[in-house]
Amino acid sequence: MAVAARQDVAEKIPTSEEIIARARAMIPTLRARAPQGERERSIPKETIAEMQAAGLFRVLQPKRWGGYEMDIGTYFEVQMALGEGDMSVAWVYGVVGVHPWFVALLDERAEQDIWGADNGTLICSSLMPAGAAKPVDGGFRLSGAWKYASGCAHCEWAFLGGTVEGAPDDRRVFAVPRKDYTIVDTWYVPGLKATGSNDVTMTDVFVPDHRTQKYADSFRGVAPGLALNTGPLYRLPFGQVFFRGVSTGAIGALQGMLDAYLDHGKKRVGRASGLPASEEAIVQLTCAEVAVAIDEMKTILHRNFRELERYAAKGEMPPLKQRVEYKFHNAVVAERCSLLASRLFRAAGTAGIAADLPFGRFLSDITVGRQHISNQFEQAGRSYGAFLFGIENNKDFVL
């Protein structure tokens, strides 16, 4: 029965253009619901249901599990489209939407555990190795408290990071069902409010070995799931895929902010100049710079992944220097978007601070997204700069 159901879904796989169009069709609704998400500090349930109905969470899921197994560029285009409406939705999609890709790397038994009863099951995560894993027969006893589990209210499983006791270099991701952890309401923040990035906790929970994956193996591109999920999509470097998932939404949000500003600027008249904002030189220049920056960031995103896909098709891992460079490209996106969003906000003047306009929300969301550890461009830039001098100082083994 399960195999038949998966094949039925696979026969209905949309094209990349169709799935992106479905995401773009949601933009007006996402804009309208954004204030509700901020008030409730969680994405509305109907939004998640509509994303599921549109097949957005199946973009990176293996075909053998009812997914679409599309190219990684489609996933990022969907994320950016969602970001134009609401960056909180794009952020959750960037996290939850990438997890089907990671499930494909796990042992077949873990795939069965997660998707056997429902291949549409959603998964949240907190990958910092904050948990302590005690080795026992057949697996580990996991305890800990994890922060920032975005979208956890909508998920039935979680990927949680932990370190094996007595082996400080053995850091792993542990797959845990909802019944085994507790969500703690802690998400009171100035931006990305609707992501519901609350804490999760657990104490002394058994996790079988087949539901774990070593970070070091992810770095080397070694995973048991590759024996069955053989497409080049699943041979992309773990870190490159995950890092981009928490920066690319900002590109979409910046585009959404620009679009809103262009519409606003056509109607607004500057109090000091008496001119329509659209005719002010500084406004025109700011909008031009933002538009060009968005194009540059998208171009680099897709160029980088075309290169990574080229290596994946050959079954090879890219050189470390290239991976460090691409990590810097990822982190600098958040920095550029936050600075450009600030300029757009200033250009909107006092009229732009009105609560019924989206500029403040876009700015706050982009700024808070910039705070994520993967988006700290100074650290990533130092690592890449060192490589330019021939100094290998990489300490991040999930590139």
CATH number of the domain residue 42 falls in = 1.10.540.10
Distance between CA atoms of 199 and 51, rounded to whole angstroms? 24
Residue 154 in any domain: the answer is: yes
Distance between CA atoms of 395 and 399, rounded to whole angstroms? 10
Instruction: List, as own/partner pairs, every contact residues 234-237 make where C-beta atoms lie below 8 angstroms and the sequence separation is at least 24, other chains included.
Output: 234/62, 234/101, 234/104, 234/105, 235/311, 235/312, 235/315, 236/72, 236/305, 236/308, 236/309, 236/312, 237/308, 237/317, 237/318, 237/323, 237/399
**Half-sphere exposure for 82 (CA within 13 Å, toward CB):** 28
Residue 253 in any domain: the answer is: yes
Does residue 384 sit in the same domain as residue 242? yes
Does residue 167 sit in the same domain as residue 201? yes
Does residue 264 sit in the same domain as residue 201? no
Q: Three-state secondary structure along 299-311?
A: HHHHHHHHHHHHH
Distance between CA atoms of 178 and 158, rounded to whole angstroms? 7
As given in the structure block, the two tokens for residue 119 are 């291949």
Q: Could you tell me the residue range of the domain that residue 198 belongs to?
A: 121-214
Percentage, residues of the chain above pLDDT 90: 86
**pLDDT digit string (tens) for 203-227?**
999 999 999 999 999 989 999 999 9
Q: Please identify, among 80, 106, 132, the residue that sits at the C-terminal boundary of a domain.
A: 106
Residue 395 in any domain: the answer is: no
* Greatest pairwise CA separation for the chain in angstroms: 76
| 319 DSSP 8-state letter | P
350-375: average pLDDT: 94
Closest CA to 370 of 195, 191, 212, 225: 191
- Residues whose CB falls within 8 Å of the CB of residue 333, separated by 6 or more in sequence, listed in order: 247, 248, 250, 251, 297, 301, 375
193-210: average pLDDT: 98
Residue 46 in any domain: the answer is: yes
Q: Please identify, among 180, 214, 248, the residue that sits at the C-terminal boundary of a domain.
A: 214
Does residue 58 sit in the same domain as residue 155? no
As given in the structure block, the two tokens for residue 215 are 């970070």
Q: What is the pLDDT of residue 272?
A: 61
148-164: average pLDDT: 98
pLDDT: which is higher, 349 or 22: 22
Cα-Cα-Cα-Cα dihedral sign, residues 26, 29, 35, 38 = negative
Q: Please identify, among 83, 106, 129, the residue that sits at the C-terminal boundary of a domain.
A: 106
Distance between CA atoms of 48 and 363, rounded to whole angstroms? 23
127-145: average pLDDT: 98
Distance between CA atoms of 30 and 89, rounded to whole angstroms? 8
Does residue 86 sit in the same domain as residue 131? no
Q: What is the CATH number of the domain that holds 199?
A: 2.40.110.10
Does residue 84 sit in the same domain as residue 145? no
Distance between CA atoms of 176 and 133, rounded to whole angstroms? 13
Does residue 348 sit in the same domain as residue 306? yes
Residue 227 in any domain: the answer is: no
Does residue 97 sit in the same domain as residue 127? no
pLDDT band at 395 (very low <50, low <70, confident <90, very high): low
pLDDT band at 236 (very low <50, low <70, confident <90, very high): very high
**pLDDT digit string (tens) for 176-193?**
999 999 999 999 999 999
Length of the chain: 399
Does residue 186 sit in the same domain as residue 269? no
Q: Is the pLDDT of residue 273 over 70?
A: no
59-73: average pLDDT: 97
Q: Is the pLDDT of residue 145 over 60?
A: yes
Residue 232 amino acid letter: P
Count CB neighbours of 33 within 10 A.
21
Residue 378 in any domain: the answer is: yes
29-43: average pLDDT: 97
Does residue 163 sit in the same domain as residue 261? no
β-bridge partners, 176: 158
Residue 228 in any domain: the answer is: no
Q: Round the average pLDDT of the chain to a whole number and report it.
A: 94
303-324: average pLDDT: 96
Does residue 100 sit in the same domain as residue 133? no
pLDDT band at 349 (very low <50, low <70, confident <90, very high): confident
Count CB neighbours of 283 within 10 A.
23
Does residue 245 sit in the same domain as residue 380? yes
Number of domains in the chain: 3
Cα-Cα-Cα-Cα dihedral sign, residues 26, 32, 38, 44 = negative
Residue 11 in any domain: the answer is: yes
